[in-house]
Structure 1
């Protein structure tokens, strides 16, 4: 089928896209407008936690759409209360505010921390974040991010986000002053190339925050909801954060995010926070279906089994091709290349015939893997075998 540019020209140009249109998906597979299939190891950047069009999610959205879509956040609705109870029951948090994107949840976390600082720390407002971090695309979350160059795109930045170095406690300690209110980090820096914070660093940050009367905020937009083999990545370090943000996988593909906080930190007054679509029953019903699937007996055990299989396979490929190893947590992993041919590998994998494969290269010398959490053993084997073939072709 010929690629139709009429619709393309009506879209605002914000990124480079290949000339293909995806028309359907199931599990770990996508199909384009020509009927070609692709093994999807990106899954909307870790969004589709249960793969494409999982039956339980389709049913939840379909059933809820026939009942009630959006009564407005001025009223309670049952799915939002059900999901909030599940999240608080599975975590160390007491209060949940639902949002529509990870950036919006992180914006809420920043606002909540600053409000807490007004009430509890004499107006302290600075939040220490980290070089190469990624917290979203609003002005405040871009300012909080440590992505190179983002301090100039929409200058001036929102002030108050000094940057430390991940896994370097002294770099954090050096930034604390009487205007500091919180420390905010991703337990695994995704866009930076899947760089985990060490367990010791996470525990040391908690103690540093306690010693200085600061909040600890974990941005789990990418790592939360089973992605690291635990329901939440902070649980790997056995710590208790004060605030957590969720997005991506919480909705399994629909726009849903959450700002989670302990009761003593939940200091918003009426009118401080809100949003037209926030916590609507259609999206939170989807969230309930996703949560229940992830919390089912044995699900996270399977995630960890597939993570071990993928890590072992990537290490074998690294050894074969003289690369620099692999890293990550759970099913958020990276293969560190020995040269800058990541984009070429991504393109070759997508164009592979008769079936393509979707990969991601957030850095030229690195590939990131974010498959569906229910990817099968056979699909991981296929991913590894296909990747080997693609590397061979690119490097020939």
Structure 2
């Protein structure tokens, strides 16, 4: 049996008002196993209950604040009271194991299809043609042509986030995370490869961060800043997102976020090129780049193993590390990392939809395997 090591990864820390007993974070992962009405399913409850740990932070997968914000059939929503009520037993199950649970809120923007929004075209800050797929009743299909959202539509979008944040609070969550990454709606406002607007929501950095910050203000109005996190992907390529000067854009955005006193900034490293693509030999650099501009906790995500996670924590570039793929197949991941027990390989084919198989049927590292 391997002996425990004094890893910083397994040391105490604080996120907002929440005291954590370790720095291993469950990353938000879209798994497409919600019920037909977008309510979280019973199999999802089992999944999150299995991965909750005493004093650990678990971030729930991207959840839609409105019907029109959907880009993937099977992803959960929180735009009705029925959704809110269906989340309650999941939150209670995580809390019963001593865990802290945040809900990620995200609008999929132009990465969608009209079949998912009652025939309406997807929206974006501007029309910039690109190619991607959405997941509908017909499976994976090319995304529908999108349209530029009108300025007078933005208040309703902001309100949908606020109402969803309130439902998350009423469901008992410990906080919310704003999904401002991966080429979804807020990210397309932020980056100039997708934002070609000539009004006060486009052009300058100040204008391009306006809508994301207005949405953030709505979440903060419900939760308070110290129970709200923000996720960004400074080098992301998913959804054909791009920026002419990402260093300037994300430095400015991080500085503006730093004014809030947020729970954390969640940073996706550049070796993650898309939700299924990873370059494991590429070094993490995004968290280190943003560290001078953000004073609060930084969560680094993207292709980390035990050694890499410990290294980025020791460097000071990050304060916590989020794991996705490894958590998918190792419900007891914090303990496996603590004792350096072997990890069960993840099953890529089960990432995007399916049954309980290769989802919530992975065993913990049982006593027999410990060699006692």
Same fold (TM over 0.5): no
Q: TM-score, normalised by structure 2?
A: 0.32
Select the structure with the greater relative contact order (CA < 8 A; seq sep ≥ 6): 1
